[in-house]
Structure 1
Amino acid sequence: MNTTHGFARVAAATPLVRVADTAFNAAQAIALLTRADRAGVHVVVFPELNLTGYTVNDLFHQQALQAGALDSLDSVCRATKELAVLGIVGLPLAADNQLFNCAAVVQRGRVLGIVPKTFIPGYKEYYEERWFARATDKVSDEVACGGGHVPFGADLLFRAADMPGLVVGVEICEDLWVPIPPSSYQAVGGATVLANLSASNELVAKPEYRAAFVRQQSGRCAAAYVLAAAGVGESTTDMVFSGHTMIAENGVMIADGTRFARTPQLAVADIDIDRLVADRQRTTSFGESVGAMKPRFRAIPFTSAQPAWKPPLERPAVPHPFVPQDPDLRDERCAEIFAIQTAALAKRLEHTRTSTAVIGLSGGLDSTLALLVCVKTFELLGLDKKGIHGLTMPGFGTSRRTYANVQKLCAALGLPLESISIVAACRQHFRDIGQDPGDHDNVYENTQSRERMQILMNRANQLGGLVVGTGDMSELALGWCTYNGDHMSMYNVNCGVPKTLVRYLVHWVAERQVEGAARRVLLDIVSTPISPELLPTGEDGEIRQKTEHEIGPYDLHDFFLYHVVRFGARPAKIVFLAGQAFKGAYTKKEIKKWLRVFYTRFFVQQFKRSCVPDGPKVGSVSLSPRGDWRMPSDAEAATWLAELDKA
C-alpha cells in the first residue's frame, strides 16, 4: 500500500481475436497480460468470451469449442505463472448440465474463481438465451477447472490481502444495462474495482450512451469501473464491434481507449482506492445501503503486490482541482458558481427586506468578485443598483493601483462609491491603547481591518443595508483574515470559493459578461498581486506586502485544501500527488515547506472558522461549521506534522 500511495493500476484490454480459434485467442491474451504486467498493472480486464470470440453463435454448443476454451484457459494460466497481474478473461463453461457465459479470474498460474453472467439478453440482435444459462440457474458453488475445483458463482469478490480497499467485482456486458446491475451489489459488498467483460456492438450514438452508463455506475457505486469490449476481429455477419475500452472513477472518465483499432489495445489508469474508500466512509447513505441490501459474497483472496508499478501516475495530474482544465467546461462551471452566489444573495436580501448592500472594496480579487455578484443579484431582483453602496477605505498600505481600480470599476459599472480614509482613526486608536505606530506587528495590521469592518457595519446600520462579505475559502482555510475584522460580515458570498477559482471567475466575468472599460479594469485586477495591503507601500506607492511571499503559493494551498478536506489524504500522499501535479514548478522541499505551513495554520486557525457568517456552498469542499466541516478549535496538528517529516 505504501509503495503505491493507495493507487491500483488497472487496464482494459482489447486483443486481436479470430472467431472460434481458441489457441490464437489464448496467445493474444497472454501477450496483453504480459504487456500489462510489465506496465505495473494490478488488474486487467478482457472482453466478453475473448478466448473463443463472442460471435461464434451455435458453435458454442460444439464440444470441441468448449474443450478448446478450457485448453486456452490452461494455456493462459501456464504462461502467466510468474506474472503479478490479476487477469480476467472470458470463455464459455459447461457446468450443472448447462452452458454459462463466464469470466475467469487468473493470477500466477491459478484460476482464482469463475463468475457466470447474470442477465442473458434475448432481444433485438442478441440471442444469448439460445446458448447460455443465467448465473441464478447454477447448482454448484464450485466447478472443475485446471485439474482442480475453483469457486463458481456471481457471488465472488476478489480481495487483495496486501492492499486494504482493493476488492474486485466482476459482471458481464448486459449485467450493466439492467435497472439494478450486479455491480451495485458488489460495490455495497465492498468492491472498489468493478470489471465488465463486454461485447457491446457499435451503433450510431451508442458509444456516448455506453460511456454514460460507465460513468454513472462508477459514480453511483463510488467505485472504479473498467469495461473492455469485443474488438474488430469479431464476425461482421450482422454486427460490428469496435473494441471500446473505458475506465471511470467515481463518475469521471479517466481513460477512454481507441475504437476500431486493428492492433491490440490496452487502456491503463491508476485508480485512487484511498479516495474511493474515503468517499464511501463519508457518504453515510452508502453504509445504509449495506444494511438495506445485505449482500452476501464469498471473498477470494489474492496478492496485489506489483513490483513493476512506478510513477508517473497513469491518470491526469491536476494541479488546480477546483478549476476545470477544459476551457468550455471552465466557462460552464464559472457560470454555475456565479448563479449559485447570486441566488444565495438574492434570497438573503429578500428575507431581510432590504434593497441595500454595503461592501468594502479594496481593488483586489475577492471584493471585486463580491461586487460583481451584488450587481448580478440586483439585476435579478430588479433593484436599483444605486442600492449597492461601495466603500473604499484607504489605509497605510493602500496602493495607487488598487485604489484607482476601485474607482474605475465603480464608474464603469455605474455604481456609487464612497471613500473613507481609516488612517486618522487608526492613529487615534494607536494612541488610545499605547501602540507604537512604527511597530508594524499584528496589532498594526489588525487595527486597520477591524476599523474597516466597524465602518461597514455602522454604515449598513445607517442605510438599513446588509454588509456583504468578501473573504474566500482559501483565506478561511489558512486563517488569513483578521478575527472580527474581514473575517466578519452579515452574509459572505465568497466563503465557498477558493482563491484559484476566484481569479478565474473574475476573468470569466471580464470576458463573458462585460466589455469596454469594465473589462479592462477587471483584467488589470486579475493581474494584480494578491495582498491584504496592511503594511506601508513602497516609495513608488505600489504594493510591498504580497500574501504569497508570506504564507506560500495559493496554487499549492488550494491543492492541499482539496485533498485534505475532500478526501482526508495523508501528508505523504499529498506530497506525492503535488510532486506529480506540479512537476518542474515546485521541488519536494518546497512542497513540504508549504504543506507544513498549511497544516499548522489550518489547525491553529480553526477558531475563526467556528464562527463565520452564513454563506453558500458552491462545490464539493466547504468549511462551514454548520455544514461540511466540524472541527474542534483546539485540535493538535502533531500527528500530521510527524508524518510530513517522514514523507
Structure 2
Amino acid sequence: MRDGFVKVAALTPAIRVADVDYNVDACVAAAREAAGEGARVIVLPELAITAYTCEDLFWQDALLDAAARGLARLVRETAALDALLLAGVPLRVNGKLYNCAAVASRGRLLGLVPKRNIPTYNEFYEGRHFCAGPAEVEWLALGRLGLDVPATAGGEGGDPSGESFDDEVPFGSRLLFACDELPGLVVGAEICEDLWVPDPPSTELAQAGATLVCNLSASNELVGKADYRRSLVGSTSARLVCAYMYASAGWGESTQDLVFGGHDLVCENGRVLAETKPLADAGLARVGEGHAAVGASAAIDVQLLAADRRRMSTFETLSSPDDHGFTVVPFSLGVSETSLAGRPVDPHPFVPADRARRSERCEEIFAIQAHGLAKRLAHTHSARAVIGVSGGLDSTLALLVAARAFDLLGLDRKGILAVTMPGFGTTHRTHDNARAMSEALGCELREISIAAAVRQHFADIGHDEADHSVTYENAQARERTQILMDVANQEGGLVVGTGDLSELALGWATYNADHMSMYGANAGVPKTLVRHLVRYVADAAAAGGKAALGAGLGEEAARNGAELARVLYDVLDTPVSPELLPASGDGKISQKTEDLVGPYELHDFFLYNVLRCGFGPAKVYRLALEAFGGRYASGTDADDAAVGTYDAETVMKWLRKFYWRFFSQQFKRSCLPDGPKVGTVAVSPRGDLRMPSDAVCALWQRELEGL
C-alpha cells in the first residue's frame, strides 16, 4: 500500500436463487481469488448470500435463518484473507427485515449498513419485504441477529480502550471503516437505490471522511441503462472526490421478469479505472466448472484523493464525524506492496489516448485559445497581431490560433503580421516552412534579419562572436523580441507570444525575450499537446473541404489545404530547437532542445503529477517507471500518441533536471504575460501557481537522493 495505492475488487459471483449454501461457497471462492490477486477491499452484490430475486421467499424464516448462518460462515471462511469484505444479506432487526451490507475482516463482523432508500416503482417492489434502514447507528446483540461470529471492538457503553467485544455489532448507514495501516483509506457503503436518489448517503459519508464508497447493487439491464449507470457512478466519484466501487448482481439471478448483467465498476474522481461488460459471455463458460465470478479490479490512489480534497476549498468535511452521528470502526490490513498492473498510468496525461476524443479536445483547446486572443484584440482595438514565426511547433500553433481569432472577429488575416527573423542558427528548412505556412494562411509576411543588429550589439558589449555561450544565444533571442515589440508599436498591433506551458515550467525561455509578449496564446498548452494540435490542423487541411473549414482554417486556407498540410507535417517532423547556435556543416539543426533539457513527454508527465496531483519525487519516479518502462510502448506512429521507453537511470536523470529547473526558474513565471488557461495545470502567478522565486529545492532533492 506504498504511496497510497490499494487494490480493490468489485465482484459478481454466479449464484442460485435461495440456495444460501451454494451462494456462500461462490462468494468465498470469489473473495479468495481476488485476495490472492492482491485485492484488499472486496465488494459483492446486493443480497448476494440469498440472491436479490427471492421475492416473497423473503417472508420465509427458513431462508432468513439460512442467510444469518450463511453470513456467519462467510465471515469465518474468509478470516484468513488480508482484506475488507462487503457482502449483501437480508437480516431481521427488531422484528423488521432490512437489506444490509455486512462488513467483515479477518474473521470479525465489523458492522451492518442497511439500505436507506427502498424502491417501490416500475419493476421494483422492495417495500413489500424490506424497511428503510436508519441513518443513526445503534449497537445490536449478535444473539438477537442469529449470528455466531465475533463482532467488532467496542459497543455502546463499551471500553474505549478498544478491547474486543464479541456480543455487539454497529447497525446503521452512518458507519465508516478506517484502515489502521493506510490512514487515507476510509470506507463507506450504500446499497443500489441509495445511489440513484437526489441526496444519496454517499454524500454525507464522503463529507465525514470516506475516500472509498462501496455500492452493493442489483441493477437489472435495460437498453441504455449501462451507459447511464456508468455515468452516474463516474460523476458521483467526481462530485465526492472519492473512489467508488459498484458490484452488481449477475448470472444466477431469476430471469422470470428481469435480466441482471453483472456490471461492475471501479471509478476514481470521475475516471473509470476498471469495468466489466454487462451481460458478458466470459463468465458463463466457467459456470459448469464450479463457482465462477466476474469482476472489476484496480489500484485506487487514496493519497491523490486526499490531496484533491485539500486543494478544493469548497469540499466541506466534518471536523469531528463522531459529533455528527458517525461511528468509525477501525480495521487492519497487512502492509503489502500494491501492484499497479491493474491501474492505468497515463504516460501522456495531457493527451487523450483515443483519437476521436483527441480531435474533440484539440478543437476545444483551439476555441479557448482563439477566444482568449480575440477578446484581447477587441479590448485593445487592435486589427494587427505580430507573431515571430520560426518554422517551429510553438510559433506554428500561435499563428494558427491568431488566424482563427481574426476569423472570429471578422478581421482580414492580412492583419496578422508574421515576422521571420533569420539569425546565426536558422536553417533553410525552418525558414522556408515559416514563409510557406504564413502564405498558406493568408497572413502578411515580413522578413527581418537579426544578424547585423546582433553583431553590432556584440561589438557594443565586447563579446566575441566565436564565444557561443549563453550571451551569444540570449542576445539573439532578445533582439528578436525587441523587433516584434517595436514593429507592433509601428503597426498599432499586439505581440502574440509563442512559448508553451512546458517551456514555462522548465524556464526554457530567455528572460525578457521569448519569455515576454503582449498576450501568451500558448501559455496553457504543454508541448506534448502542441504537437497534437498542429497535427489536428494538418490532418484537417489534408482532408480539405468541410474538414478544413471545421478546423477553422477558413476558405483561403482550405483551398491551399494540400500545401498547408505539407508544411505542417514537415514542422511536426522537425526537431524542437531555438536555433540559436550555428547549423551543422550540412545545414541541419545542431541545437536540439530535448538533448539539453530532456524529452518533453517525460517532463510533461512530471509536470502533471507534481502540479496537478501534488506527488512527491519518489511517487513520481515510481509512476514514470510504470508509464515509460515499456508497458505502454506503441511504436513510432505519432497519430497513435506513441510512447517512448526509458530505463530507470534515464528517468532519474531527467527527473532531477525537472526539479532543479522548476525551482530555479520560478522568477520567470512570476512575471508572465497574460494568457488563457486551457487545462487543469497552469503556471500563471495570477492563477494556479503562487510560488516564491527563492524557494529551496532541498527537500525534493533529498528524497531523490534516497531512491
TM-score range with shorter-chain normalisation?
Answer: over 0.9
* Corresponding position: 1:592 with 2:621: no
**Pairwise CA distance, 1:252:** 1.1
After superposition, the C-alpha distances for 1:537-583 in whole angstroms (9 at most, x for unaligned) are 11111100000000100010000000000011011111110001001
Superposed, which structure 2 residues align to 1:236-635 within 5 Å?
236-260=255-279, 261-262=283-284, 263-287=292-316, 295-305=324-334, 307=336, 309-512=337-540, 513=548, 514=558, 515-584=561-630, 585-635=645-695
Q: Aligned partners of 2:695, 2:374: CA distance in 1, in Å? A: 36
- Bigger drift between 53-62 and 463-472 goes to 53-62
**Pairwise CA distance, 1:138:** 7.6
Superposed, which structure 2 residues align to 1:121-200 within 5 Å?
121-136=119-134, 140-144=138-142, 145-147=147-149, 148-200=167-219
2:81 paired residue among 83, 101, 112: 83
Do 2:209 and 2:317's aligned partners in 1 also have CA atoms closer than 8 Å?
no
Do 2:208 and 2:317's aligned partners in 1 also have CA atoms closer than 8 Å?
no
1:38 aligns with: 36
**Pairwise CA distance, 1:294:** 8.2
Q: Aligned partners of 1:290, 1:133: CA distance in 2, in Å? A: 31
Structure 2 CA distance for partners of 1:203 and 1:463, relative to 1, 3 Å = same
**Pairwise CA distance, 1:287:** 2.8
Do 2:135 and 2:173's aligned partners in 1 also have CA atoms closer than 8 Å?
no
After superposition, the C-alpha distances for 1:305-342 in whole angstroms (9 at most, x for unaligned) are 254x5434312231100000000000000000000001
Give the secondary structure class of the aligned counterpart of 1:141: strand
Give the secondary structure class of the aligned counterpart of 2:134: helix
Q: Aligned partners of 1:555, 1:139: CA distance in 2, in Å? A: 51
Q: Aligned partners of 1:608, 1:139: CA distance in 2, in Å? A: 56
Letter of the 1:158 partner, please give it.
Answer: F
Do 2:349 and 2:608's aligned partners in 1 also have CA atoms closer than 8 Å?
yes
Q: Aligned partners of 1:212, 1:199: CA distance in 2, in Å? A: 17
1:96 aligns with: 94
Q: Aligned partners of 1:567, 1:359: CA distance in 2, in Å? A: 34
Do 2:7 and 2:338's aligned partners in 1 also have CA atoms closer than 8 Å?
no
Give the secondary structure class of the aligned counterpart of 1:284: coil
Q: Aligned partners of 1:225, 1:143: CA distance in 2, in Å? A: 31
Give the secondary structure class of the aligned counterpart of 2:3: coil
- Bigger drift between 61-70 and 256-265 goes to 256-265
2:70 paired residue among 72, 86, 96: 72
Structure 2 CA distance for partners of 1:82 and 1:292, relative to 1, 3 Å = closer
**Pairwise CA distance, 1:64:** 1.3
| Identity fraction in percent | 54
Q: Aligned partners of 1:20, 1:216: CA distance in 2, in Å? A: 34
Do 1:41 and 1:306's aligned partners in 2 also have CA atoms closer than 8 Å?
no
Letter of the 1:617 partner, please give it.
Answer: K
Letter of the 1:367 partner, please give it.
Answer: S
2:697 paired residue among 625, 633, 637: 637
1:48 aligns with: 46
Do 1:201 and 1:241's aligned partners in 2 also have CA atoms closer than 8 Å?
yes
Give the secondary structure class of the aligned counterpart of 1:133: coil
Do 2:237 and 2:268's aligned partners in 1 also have CA atoms closer than 8 Å?
yes
Letter of the 1:593 partner, please give it.
Answer: K
Letter of the 2:78 partner, please give it.
Answer: T
Letter of the 1:166 partner, please give it.
Answer: L
Do 2:247 and 2:265's aligned partners in 1 also have CA atoms closer than 8 Å?
yes
After superposition, the C-alpha distances for 1:162-208 in whole angstroms (9 at most, x for unaligned) are 10211111000000000111001111111111100000111111111
Do 2:618 and 2:703's aligned partners in 1 also have CA atoms closer than 8 Å?
yes
Give the secondary structure class of the aligned counterpart of 1:222: coil
Runs of 4+ in 1 over 4 A off after TM superposition: 288-295
Q: Aligned partners of 1:401, 1:206: CA distance in 2, in Å? A: 55
Give the secondary structure class of the aligned counterpart of 1:136: coil
Letter of the 2:298 partner, please give it.
Answer: A
Give the secondary structure class of the aligned counterpart of 2:237: helix
Do 2:28 and 2:74's aligned partners in 1 also have CA atoms closer than 8 Å?
yes
Q: Aligned partners of 2:335, 2:50: CA distance in 1, in Å? A: 29
Do 1:244 and 1:259's aligned partners in 2 also have CA atoms closer than 8 Å?
yes
Aligned residues: 644
Q: Which runs of 5+ in 1 are unaligned?
A: none
Q: Aligned partners of 1:568, 1:140: CA distance in 2, in Å? A: 39
After superposition, the C-alpha distances for 1:109-152 in whole angstroms (9 at most, x for unaligned) are 11111100111111111111111111128884334143432111
Q: Which runs of 5+ in 2 are unaligned?
A: 150-166, 285-291, 541-547, 549-557, 631-644
Aligned CA RMSD, in angstroms, stands at: 1.6
Q: Aligned partners of 2:595, 2:335: CA distance in 1, in Å? A: 42
> What is the TM-score of this pair, normalised by structure 1?
0.97
**Pairwise CA distance, 1:290:** 7.1
Do 1:50 and 1:90's aligned partners in 2 also have CA atoms closer than 8 Å?
yes
